[in-house]
Amino acid sequence: MSNFVDYLIKYNKDLKPIIDATFDKEQIAVGKIVPMAGDMINDYKKFLSGGKKLRGCEIFLGYQMFAGMNKEEGLLASLTIEIIHSFLLMHDDVMDQDDLRRGEPTIHKKYAKHFGDHYGESMAITLGDEGMFWAYRILNSLHFSRANMSKASEFLSQVLLEVGIGQALDITYEEQHKFSEEAVLQIHRYKTAEYTISGPLSVGAILAGADEKKLKAIKDFGIPVGIAFQIRDDELGMFSTEEELGKPVDSDLKEGKVTLLIVKALEFASVEDKKFLQSAHGNQKLTKEEVERVRTIIINSGAFAYSQKAARDLVEEGKKFIPEITDNIVYQKLLVQLADFVIERQS
Amino acid sequence: MSNFVDYLIKYNKDLKPIIDATFDKEQIAVGKIVPMAGDMINDYKKFLSGGKKLRGCEIFLGYQMFAGMNKEEGLLASLTIEIIHSFLLMHDDVMDQDDLRRGEPTIHKKYAKHFGDHYGESMAITLGDEGMFWAYRILNSLHFSRANMSKASEFLSQVLLEVGIGQALDITYEEQHKFSEEAVLQIHRYKTAEYTISGPLSVGAILAGADEKKLKAIKDFGIPVGIAFQIRDDELGMFSTEEELGKPVDSDLKEGKVTLLIVKALEFASVEDKKFLQSAHGNQKLTKEEVERVRTIIINSGAFAYSQKAARDLVEEGKKFIPEITDNIVYQKLLVQLADFVIERQS
């Protein structure tokens, strides 16, 4: 899969000066009015320097694939989803009550130092809202045709509406202890799939003038691959290291996140293991040894193998639609590698 | 000022079937996936049936003023700011920890009934985000030229970015106990002025194809009138009734909101009254008698008269720019009445 990874690395390298210029300009403008918010834009510039920026890369790929010619504008366009993503994470972190993100204190934790928790959360809500408005402003001030920018805005809004539905499902099912494969895949479908794969590819494609037929093919490709992305994400959330994740590797388990691994382990495990799993899932006070036992159950029950196979099947299903997206063999190959990357990645 | 009020009443009447159709359609679509979110759209339809809908009316007025011909599309466009406003209030209510809005429990309070306070706040954050995406989707799917919809999206994003800066200033100054006329007017400028008057008028004008010169005149008119709007809002927050406000009339005082009335009363009052004011401002446990004493101090110190004169001066300053906005005497008159309405309104 080296080619797509090379493409991703090159994209990140090319994006860096665009991030610096965009954030510095905004920081100066906003910092004049609210010094604290200016500092915060600076914090977020640092934040954006981390992460894979897969979604941004896909906007750029979608743009290039449909013969988008202006490289700098394509990169700038790609920044919109990375800004939205960063700022959505601010809201997510408040909801999940997470303290760490990419190895740094989360925004609400950082601001809580000034005037307490409620102030920290209020600032995280406000600054999250700002990120969204900022992204829409950028998306509608590029040097593309106004028609394509409006179409891209409409499309992106629809994708983000689905993320919100997924989020509402997620937090509600968690409280209702609704554990089923169907529920998990429904959340993945809404919260992640389109937003992570077909959404960004389509935004780039729309800006480059792609037609409805192409957008349909991107969606057919991206939905199964996007669901696989989240399945892989949940695997990493259980079996990766704190170093790789930038947050405690047991946090999904402790906060009681509903994942395919947990659902299947509950289904496949012995009565005794099942009982233990139920008591461990959502338990904030798990010891290291107990976390290790959960991992062992997930592997030995066959839940991990089930999850890997489900993700692989989805990826292969998505790949079938690649020829309908593009005739260009170079881009076909990149899309195949992107799909494989989604489930083979280690972080 | 009867003409503008008639215009506002007529607008509300015409908008009602548009609200019903739009929300019902969305409720059915979303309700299929998340019944709870579907119910919530219904709740918000009820919410939108209350309120003056001044901002929506201004989008419609801006649209008509520049010869926008398609009445139904103009009404639908006007709905975008009302949706954004409603959903911004959800975030505001979490930040201000308010329990009541328009006489009903706030969204986070309503959802807290299901699974506790944190769940309630998480849902209010998520559903607030959804409102913004929904509004952008509507704004970019109207039957106007894509070019004008993209321009309107860019413009609206900039206005909303300023609201966020104002909100960050507001919550930060409140914690810092930064009490000065300059600070208050700075917050009003960012948080309210453009968003409440020139912003909506301009969005309508842009959709109807108005040029930059006209938009500049609308801004020159709307900024001072918008600041006056907030000054009046704070007067009503202190002297209106719970019935008129839809929330306790002492809530601004108890949560320590920084208003021109408080700043000036602290400046003008006797040493003894000043001391009392300082202890009362931000005190959650004020008695009815103490609230009454604050009111008396605000009036007797001359702070109320100062506030009223400041608002009147701002409105007159704004009115000077009306001839640059339009030659049409009917619309000139409506704008004069709108400006007067802003400071003469009783709710």
Q: For the segment A102-111, what is each residue's pLDDT rounded down to a tens digit?
A: 778 888 888 8
Per-residue confidence (pLDDT) for residue A129, from 0 to 100: 86
Q: How far is CA A60 from the centre of its chain?
A: 16
Asked if the Cβ–Cβ distance from A153 to B168 is below 8 Å, we say: no
Q: Per the structure block, which two tokens stand in for A213?
A: 């037929």
Residue A328 has pLDDT above 60, yes or no: yes
Structure tokens at B39: 């119910």
Q: How far apart are alpha carbons A38 and A23 in whole angstroms? A: 10
Give the best residue of B39, B118, B125, B170 to mutate against chain A (max A CB count within 10 A): B125
pLDDT of residue B1: 40
**For residue A104, what are the β-bridge partners?**
A101
Q: Is the pLDDT of residue A272 over 70?
A: yes
Does the CB of A146 have a partner CB in chain B at under 8 Å?
yes
Q: Is the pLDDT of residue B189 over 50?
A: yes
Residue A1 confidence (pLDDT) above 60 = no
| Alpha carbon distance A326, A324 (integer Å) | 6
Please indicate whether residue B50 or residue A137 has the higher confidence score (pLDDT): A137
pLDDT grade for A41, boundaries at 50, 70 and 90 = confident
pLDDT at A237: 92
Q: What is the ipTM of this complex?
A: 0.86
- At residue A39 the predicted structure's pLDDT band, cuts being 50, 70 and 90, is confident
- Say how far apart CA B320 and CA A163 lie, in whole Å: 46
Reference A303, options A271, A260, A273; nearest CA is: A260
Q: List pLDDT tens digits, range A86-101.
A: 888 888 788 778 888 7
Q: Reply yes or no on whether the pLDDT at A150 is more than 80.
A: yes
- Kindly report the nearest CA distance between residue A161 and chain B, in angstroms: 6
Cα A314 from Cα A306, distance rounded (Å): 12
- Closest CA of chain A from B37, distance in Å: 8
Q: In the numeric block, which tokens belong to residue B296?
A: 């008396």
> In this structure, is the dihedral angle defined by the CA atoms of residues B308, B311, B315 and B317, taken in order, positive or negative?
positive
How many domains in chain B? Answer: 1
Name every chain A residue with its beta carbon within 8 A of the beta carbon of B129: 88, 91, 128-129, 132, 160, 164
- pLDDT tens digits, one per residue of B1-38: 459 999 999 999 999 999 999 999 988 888 887 777 77
CA distance B62 to A234: 50
Residue B182: pLDDT band (50, 70, 90) is: very high
pLDDT, one tens digit per residue, over B222-274 is 999 999 999 999 999 999 887 777 777 788 888 888 899 999 999 999 999 99
Do residue B126 and residue A175 have CB atoms under 8 angstroms apart?
no
Residue where the block lists tokens 């500092």: A39
pLDDT at res. B171: 80
**Tell me: the pLDDT tens digits for A49-67?**
778 999 999 999 999 999 8
| CA–CA separation, A160 and A138 (whole Å) | 16
Higher pLDDT, B61 or B87: B61
User: In the prediction, which pLDDT does B218 show?
Assistant: 98
Q: What is the pLDDT of residue B128?
A: 84
Q: How far apart are CA B249 and CA B133, in angstroms?
A: 32
Of residues B147, B166, B144, the one with CA closest to residue B155: B147
Tell if the CB–CB gap between A126 and B167 is shorter than 8 Å.
Answer: yes
Phi, psi of B287 (to 5 degrees): -85, 165
Q: How many CB atoms lie within 10 A of CB A265?
A: 27
Nearest to A137 among B37, B114, B157 (CB): B157
A144 interaction partners in chain B (CB closer than 8 Å): none
Segments forming the whole domain that contains residue B299 = 2-344
Contact assignment for A129 to B169 by CB distance below 8 Å: no
Which residue from A minimizes the CA distance to B137?
A154
Above 90 in pLDDT, residue A343? yes
Question: Picking from A30-39, A153-162, A194-203, which range would have the lowest pLDDT averaged per residue?
Answer: A30-39
From A140-149, B120-129, B220-229, the region with the lowest mean pLDDT: B120-129
Measured on CA atoms in the order B253, B259, B261, B263, is the torsion positive or negative? positive
Name chain B contacts of A126, Cβ cutoff 8 Å: 91, 95, 164, 167-168, 171
Say if the Cβ atoms of A161 and B33 lie within 8 Å.
Answer: no
**Closest approach of chain A CAs to the CA of B297, in angstroms?**
30
When the pLDDT of each residue in chain A is averaged and rounded to a whole number, the result is 90
Return the SS3 of A105.
strand
Joined tokens for residue B303: 């702070």
Assigned token pair, A182: 């169907």
Alpha helices in A240-302 (DSSP H): 242-245, 251-254, 260-268, 271-280, 288-300
Mean pLDDT of B271-291: 93
A228 confidence band (pLDDT: 50, 70, 90): very high
Domain CATH number, residue B290 = 1.10.600.10
Q: What whole-number percentage of chain B has pLDDT above 90?
A: 63
Contact B34 A172 (CB under 8 A): yes
